[in-house]
């Protein structure tokens, strides 16, 4: 069988056994590969980097979404930058208090590819009347709108000095996000890898959001070797993991994880 090689860093790569190539091509913004790999099922790669796989995408998307939503007493209006696979919106829509999601993603072709080849990711989220999808620039939209949101989610490509999304990792952008939050509002984002060898992007983003927000909760997810953050101007309430707020069950996040969120390993604390 063929192999797909994902370069993780200098001198390191991950190899997938390809059972089927579902799509290869270029959108206006990035190269897309969608394969079916042994053990992982369907896998999405952007510019050669794995974004999510059928076997474990629920872990990433639940851990980005639910720790923040349960910390808000009544999240109704949500903004999402990115999230083209549709899985972030899928998880947000499980919360019955949510009235609207404004999702802004720049790559409309990628969204259509995900809807065609990865329908299990969105599970009908794009057909939900609460979701308002805008194909465009999230930065431009936030500059132009007067709307205020209870929670703003950033599901963006991993930070690097040359990422096309670098303008969404600046102090100016985080200041704009703060202006678009309702009183008591929260920003949630993926921060980056937390493996000791690949820690630099996480530290870079963590330091930036700590400079922009008075209160930041950082939390790693062991299975993913990835970290996330919740940011606010005031200390976010701990909240409760209340399954009654959900229209559908979760596969990963639970009350115990919610209670323990925010514990960082010593090596990350020292790096920060």
Clarify whether residues 16 and 73 are in a common domain: no
pLDDT at position 163 is 77
C-alpha span between 259 and 44 (Å, rounded): 32
- 10 pLDDT more than 90: no
Residues 47 and 77 in one domain: no
Q: Do 87 and 24 reside in the same domain of the chain?
A: no
| CATH code, domain carrying 213 | 3.40.50.150
* Integer Cα distance of 50 and 121 in angstroms: 15
Residues 79 and 39 in one domain: no
Q: Which residues are catalytic?
A: 155
CB 25 within 8 A of CB 49: no
Q: How far apart are CA 98 and CA 91, in angstroms?
A: 11
Domain match, 28 and 134 both? no
Strands lying side by side in the sheet with 215-221: 131-135, 100-105, 77-82, 149-155, 181-193, 226-232, 215-221
- Average pLDDT score, the chain: 95
Cα 87 from Cα 76, distance rounded (Å):
18
27-45, pLDDT tens digit by residue? 999 999 999 999 999 999 9
Instruction: Give the pLDDT of residue 248.
Output: 97
CB 265 within 8 A of CB 196: no
Confidence of residue 8 (pLDDT cuts 50, 70, 90): confident
Determine the length of the chain: 272
Sequence-separated (6 or more) residues with CB below 8 Å from residue 229: 188, 189, 191, 205, 206, 209, 216, 217, 218, 219
Residue-wise pLDDT for 215-236, tens only, equals 999 999 989 999 999 999 999 8
What mean pLDDT is predicted for residues 98-109? 98
Q: Which helix (H) or strand (E) holds 67?
A: helix 57-69
Q: Do 49 and 183 fall within a single domain?
A: no
Total domains present in the chain: 2
Cβ-Cβ contacts under 8 Å for 162 (sequence gap 6 or more): none
Same domain for 46 and 166, yes or no, is no
Residue 140 binned pLDDT confidence (cut-offs 50, 70, 90): very high
Phi/psi at 139 (nearest 5 deg)?
-65, -45
Q: What percent of the chain has pLDDT over 70?
A: 100
**pLDDT score at 158:** 87
Q: pLDDT grade, residue 1 (50/70/90)?
A: low
Task: Answer yes or no: do 118 and 34 share one domain.
Answer: no
What count of other Cβ atoms lies within 10 Å of the Cβ of residue 226?
Answer: 21
- Residues paired with residue 103 on neighbouring β-strands, in sequence order: 80, 133
Residue-wise burial string across 229-242, b where 16 or more C-beta atoms lie within 10 A, e elsewhere: bbbbbeebeebebe
Residue 26 is classified by DSSP as E
Using CB atoms within 10 Å of the CB of residue 196, give its burial: 0 to 12 exposed, 13 to 18 middle, 19+ buried: exposed
Given 15, 34, 53, the domain boundary residue is: 53
Convert the pLDDT of each residue in 166-183 to its tens digit: 889 998 999 999 999 999
Q: 46 and 136, same structural domain?
A: no
**CATH code of the domain in which 42 resides:** 2.30.140.10
- Looking at the fold, whether 9 and 120 belong to one and the same domain comes out as no
Domain interval for residue 149: 57-271
108 and 7 in one domain? no
Looking at the structure, tell me whether residues 102 and 66 fall in a common domain. Answer: yes
């Amino acid at each position: 069988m063929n192999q797909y090689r994902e370069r993780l860093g200098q001198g390191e790569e991950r190899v997938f056994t390809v059972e089927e190539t579902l799509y290869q091509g270029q959108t206006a913004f990035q190269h897309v590969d969608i394969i079916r790999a042994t053990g992982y099922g369907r896998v999405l790669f952007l510019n050669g980097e794995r974004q999510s796989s059928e076997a474990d995408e629920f872990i990433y998307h639940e851990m980005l979404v639910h720790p923040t939503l349960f910390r808000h007493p009544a999240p109704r209006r949500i903004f999402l930058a990115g999230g083209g696979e549709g899985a972030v919106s899928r998880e947000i829509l499980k919360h019955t208090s949510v009235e609207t999601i404004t999702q802004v993603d720049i790559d409309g072709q990628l969204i259509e590819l995900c809807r065609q080849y990865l329908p299990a990711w969105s599970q009908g989220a794009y057909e939900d009347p609460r979701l308002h999808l805008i194909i465009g620039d999230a930065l431009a939209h936030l500059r132009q709108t007067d709307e205020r949101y209870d929670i703003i989610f950033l599901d963006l490509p991993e930070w690097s000095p040359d990422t096309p999304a670098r303008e969404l990792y600046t102090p100016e952008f985080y200041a704009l996000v703060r202006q678009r939050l309702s009183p008591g509002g929260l920003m949630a984002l993926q921060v980056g890898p937390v493996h000791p060898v690949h820690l630099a992007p996480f530290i870079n983003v963590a330091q930036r959001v700590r400079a922009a927000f008075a209160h930041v909760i950082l939390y790693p997810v062991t299975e993913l070797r990835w970290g996330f953050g919740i940011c606010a101007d005031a200390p976010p309430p701990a909240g409760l993991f209340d399954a009654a707020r959900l229209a559908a069950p979760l596969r990963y996040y639970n009350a115990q994880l919610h209670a323990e969120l925010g514990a960082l390993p010593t090596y990350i604390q020292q790096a920060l």
